[in-house]
Structure formats: C-alpha cells, structure tokens
Amino acid sequence: MPIENYLLSGENILFWSDFQVTHEEAKYKIYITNLRLLLYNETGLVFKKEEIITESFRQITALQFSEQGAINKRGILKFASNKGEVRLVGPVNGMRGLFKAIQKQTLDPYPSNPLSDPDYE
C-alpha cells in the first residue's frame, strides 16, 4: 500500500475509505491513523504522482456532517482547523462512517488504559 510510505514511526491505520472523496475538486482516498487524518491521491498510469494532505487530530476544532440531494444523496463532512475549513464530499453512508471515525479520534486522540495506570485502584 503506497500510503505506508508516509506513515510516521508508531503510526497505525485505523480506518480507510473504499470510496473516494472530493476535496477542492480533486479525488482522494481517506486514511485515519492513531495520530492524524490523511487524504491520499495517486495519478498517472506510467509516471505515477502522489499527493498527500495531512491534518493532526489536535488541530481539528469543529466537525459537521450533512446530507445533500434527494435522489443522489451525498454526504458532506466539514471540519475546522488552524489551517481553515476543510470540506469533503462523498457517498452518504461512507461519509457518515468517516464522520464517526474522525469524531472518535478527536474526542480522545490518545486514549489511555486506566488498568495500566499505577494509581488505578
């Protein structure tokens, strides 16, 4: 998987999209790791070019999901960060799952295990 070339030491993929999302008129696959959100795009048949956009979960300050359309429903995921607002559009069910996965990481991006805490009784 080419995305593994961009993972940091100790970073693990928790969720990936089997669909493409649109961001600023380009198509991306989404990967959620234990540390960040990655948008990955690969173009070209012979001479491949890769583009990757990353966003740390610590930087995400707001998250919104909505549906658009009557027959061809699309899911719209927006989030705010210190870089500005990001808008992702894709299949409604896939985007709903993506929303939940990002929400889980932003609520507790570094979960701790109380049983391993020496002060836990």
Q: How many CB atoms lie within 10 A of CB 101?
A: 17
Identity of the amino acid at 96: R
Q: At 32, is the pLDDT very low, low, confident or very high (cuts 50, 70, 90)? A: very high
The residue to which tokens 């089997």 are assigned = 18
The domain tally of the chain equals 1
Q: Is residue 43 part of a domain?
A: yes
pLDDT digits (tens, 9 = 90+) for 85-106: 999 999 999 999 999 999 988 8
Task: Name the β-bridge partners of 62.
Answer: 80
Q: Is residue 74 part of a domain?
A: yes
Q: Is residue 118 part of a domain?
A: no
Q: Is residue 28 part of a domain?
A: yes
Average pLDDT over residues 41-64: 90
Q: Is residue 35 part of a domain?
A: yes
CA distance 41 to 19: 12
CB within 8 A of 48, min separation 6: which ones? 42
pLDDT in the model for residue 108:
66
Q: Mean of the per-residue pLDDT values for the chain?
A: 87
Q: Is residue 117 part of a domain?
A: no
> The whole model's pTM is what?
0.80
Q: At 20, is the pLDDT very low, low, confident or very high (cuts 50, 70, 90)? A: very high
Tokens of 38: 């990655």
pLDDT digits (tens, 9 = 90+) for 72-87: 899 999 999 888 999 9
Phi/psi at 106 (nearest 5 deg)?
-75, -30
Q: Is residue 17 part of a domain?
A: yes
pLDDT in the model for residue 110:
55
Question: What is the span of the domain harbouring residue 95?
Answer: 2-109
Q: Is residue 114 part of a domain?
A: no
Q: At 71, is the pLDDT very low, low, confident or very high (cuts 50, 70, 90)? A: confident
pLDDT in the model for residue 115:
46
pLDDT in the model for residue 120:
40
CATH number of the domain encompassing residue 35: 2.30.29.30
- State how beta strands 36-43 and 21-23 pair: unpaired
